Each structure stands twice: as C-alpha cells, then as structure tokens.
Amino acid sequence: MPVSDPDAPDERPAEPEPMRVKVRAWTARVELNVPEVARQEMDEHRLAVLRGDDVDPLDGHRMLTRLKVAAALSILDAREFVTEEDWQLAGTVIRVSDRTRAEVKRAVAERAREAARARAEARAEEAGVIADRADERIRRRARAAVLRYLDRHSTATRKDLRGNMRNDLRGELDATLDDLLAENVITSTGGVYALA
C-alpha cells in the first residue's frame, strides 16, 4: 500500500482514539463461507494454469491474498462469511497494492539505471584519463628521442630521426618537430634539423 499522502497537513494531527473491534472468540475450527464469484474467479484461473493458457501462475497466490484480505474484512465486521462486497473491496486493496508495487519496482529500476550510468561515465572518464596519460607519455618519449639523436649527431633529416625512432613513436614525429620548432628548442634549415 502507498505510504505517501500529497494532502498531508503541515502539522501532525491529534492522535486518533484506538478503534475497538469486537472479534468473536472462536474456540473451534471455523469455516468462512466464500462468495460464489470469488470461488468462480479462483477456479477459472486454476483451470487456465492447468491448460497452459497465457496466465501468470503467481496470480493464484495473488487471488489467495485477496481472499485473505476479504476474510479479514469479514472478521473485522464480526461475520463468519465473506460477502461479495468483501471480495470487491479486497480486489481494490490488491489493485492498489499492485500499483504501488509497480511504482516501487519502476523507482528501483530507475535508480539502478542511474547507478549503472554513473558507473559507466566514471569508467569512461577513467579510460579517457588513462588514454590521455598514455598519449602524453608517447609524446614525451618521442620528444626525448629527437633531442637525444640531435644531441649525439648535431644534425639530422626527418628520415634520420624517423629511422632512429621506435615504431610506436613514429606517429608523433611531425607533431614533436613542430612543437620543438615552435619552442625554439631546435632549428630547421633546408630540411635539416639541429639543436638551437
């Protein structure tokens, strides 16, 4: 049953008086009569399950719960029989319960989706940081390789530098040369590079 009340007052109302219910003191086993409409609905459902029709077998449990609610209503009214009205009221209780349960399931599923989305975004961000660091490491290694070669050989062509680099660094050669030229760390004259 729902526990929300959009019309709840701002201030807590006075505590209601306890409701006194007279329940018969049954000392022996008592059989409550069930209305024919309830018996018929339960029998129809059971037959559909037995025949393999497209019904949810768990609805049998739902009907038993409905019957228990109807029986509780009759006992609260000090009766030893369940009326059709009890059965209908119990149906209303079960429908409200079903609706509330569906809302709770939707809310739980939405929270699970949000949590999964947040985890995926965190993993994607982590992967991005790892990729950025790997790219930065390759750029640093390419830069060091160019500077090391020029330090040892004084001058070099692009072909010399590329041939001296490891395969995984060669893709960074042009960007590295552009950066070093822009920073005035190296010079280029006629395609020959040297330390500045």
Using the predicted structure, report yes or no on whether residue 3 has a pLDDT greater than 80.
Answer: no
Q: What is the pLDDT of residue 84?
A: 95
Cα distance between residue 159 and residue 153, in whole Å: 14
Listing DSSP states for 62-128 in one string gives: HHHHHHHHHHHHHHHTT-SB--HHHHHHHHHHHHHHHHHHHHHHHHHHHHHHHHHHHHHHHHHHHHH
pTM value is 0.56
Q: Which residues contact 24 (CB under 8 A, 6 or more apart)?
A: 78, 80
Domain parsing of the chain, residue ranges: 36-111, 138-195
What is the per-residue pLDDT across 170-193, written as a single tens digit (0 to 9) for each?
Answer: 999 999 999 999 999 999 999 999
How far are the Cα atoms of 135, 157, 171 from residue 181, in angstroms, in the given order?
20, 14, 17
What is the per-residue pLDDT across 107-156, written as a single tens digit (0 to 9) for each?
Answer: 999 999 999 999 999 999 999 999 999 999 999 999 999 999 999 999 99
The CATH code for residues 138-195 is 1.10.10.10
